[in-house]
Amino acid sequence: MSLFDIASGLVRLLPAESAHRFTINALKTGLAKPQPDLDDPRLAVTLPKSGLKLANPIGLAAGFDKNAEVIAPMLGFGFGFVECGTVTPRPQAGNPRPRLFRLSEDRAVINRMGFNNEGIGPFVRRLSATRGMGVIGANVGANKDSDNRINDYVAGVRAVWPHCSYLTINISSPNTPGLRGLQDRGALEELLGRVGETARELDTVVKNRPVFLKIAPDLDDKAIADIADVVLRQTWLSGLIVSNTTIDRPESLLSRHKGEIGGLSGAPLMEKSTAALAAISSLVAGKLDLIGAGGIASGADIVTKLRAGAQAVQLYSAMVYEGPGIVTRLKAELVELLVASGASNLAELAKA
Quick: pLDDT tens for 134-143: 999 999 999 9
Percentage of the chain beyond pLDDT 70 is 95
Q: What is the per-residue pLDDT for 38?
A: 86
Give pTM, 2 decimals. 0.96
Residue 36: the pLDDT is: 63
Q: Are residues 215 and 295 in the same domain?
A: yes
pLDDT tens-digit readout, 296-312: 999 999 999 999 999 99
pLDDT at 33 over 80: no
What is the reported pLDDT for 181? Answer: 96
The pLDDT of 234-255, averaged and rounded, is 97
* Residue 281 a catalytic site member: no
Cβ–Cβ contacts within 10 Å for residue 256, how many? 11
pLDDT(116) > 60: yes
Give the CATH number, domain containing residue 46: 3.20.20.70
Could you tell me if 17 and 148 lie in one domain?
no
Residues 12 and 59 in one domain: no
Is the pLDDT assigned to residue 65 strictly greater than 70? yes
pLDDT of residue 37: 76
Angle at 172 between CA 168 and CA 173, to 5 degrees: 105
Mean pLDDT value across residues 88-114: 98
Is 19 in the same domain as 121?
Answer: no
Does residue 199 share a domain with residue 183? yes
pLDDT beyond 80 at 25 = yes
334 pLDDT higher than 50? yes
pLDDT, residue 14, reads: 86
What mean pLDDT value characterizes the chain?
A: 95
312, 288 Cβ separation under 8 angstroms:
no
- Considering the domain architecture, whether residues 25 and 147 belong to the same structural domain is answered as no
What is the SS3 assignment for the chain? CCHHHHHHHHHCCCCHHHHHHHHHHHHHHCCCCCCCCCCCHHHCEECCCCCCEECCCEEECCCCCCCCCCHHHHHHCCCCEEEEEEECCCCECCCCCCCEEEEHHHCEEEECCCCCECCHHHHHHHHHCCCCCCCEEEEECCCCCCCCHHHHHHHHHHHHHHHCCEEEEECCCCCCCCHHHHHCHHHHHHHHHHHHHHHHHHHCCCCCCCEEEEECCCCCHHHHHHHHHHHHCCCCCCEEEECCCECCCCCCCCCCCCCCCCEEEEHHHHHHHHHHHHHHHHHHCCCCEEEEECCCCCHHHHHHHHHCCCCEEEECHHHHHHCCCHHHHHHHHHHHHHHHHCCCCHHHHHHC
In a shared domain, residues 291 and 344:
yes
Average pLDDT rounded to a whole number, residues 159-171: 98
- The reply to whether 18 and 55 lie within a common domain is no
Which of 50, 146, 165, 173 is an active site residue? 173
Number of domains in the chain: 2
pLDDT at 1 (0 to 100)? 45
Q: What is the mean pLDDT of residues 173-186?
A: 96
Residue 9 confidence class, pLDDT cut points 50, 70, 90: low
* Over residues 151-160, mean pLDDT: 98
Cβ–Cβ < 8 Å for 294, 243: yes
Host domain of residue 6: 1-33
294 pLDDT more than 70: yes
Q: What angle do CA 245, 250, 255 make, to 5 degrees?
A: 90
Give the pLDDT of residue 349.
98
The more confident residue out of 22 and 31 is 22
Average pLDDT score over residue span 102-116? 98
For residues 132 and 20, membership in a common domain is answered with no
Statement: residue 13 has pLDDT above 80:
no
Same domain? 200 vs 237: yes
Q: What is the pLDDT of residue 7?
A: 55
CA distance 317 to 322: 9
**Percent of all residues in the chain with a pLDDT value above 90, rounded to a whole number:** 90
Same domain, residue pair 21 and 68: no
In the predicted model, is pLDDT for residue 265 greater than 80? yes
Q: What's the pLDDT score for residue 29?
A: 87
Task: Return d(Cα 291, Cα 60) in angstroms, integer.
Answer: 11
Cis peptide before 98 (omega within 30 of 0): yes
Domain check: are 12 and 161 in the same one? no
CA distance 313 to 302: 7
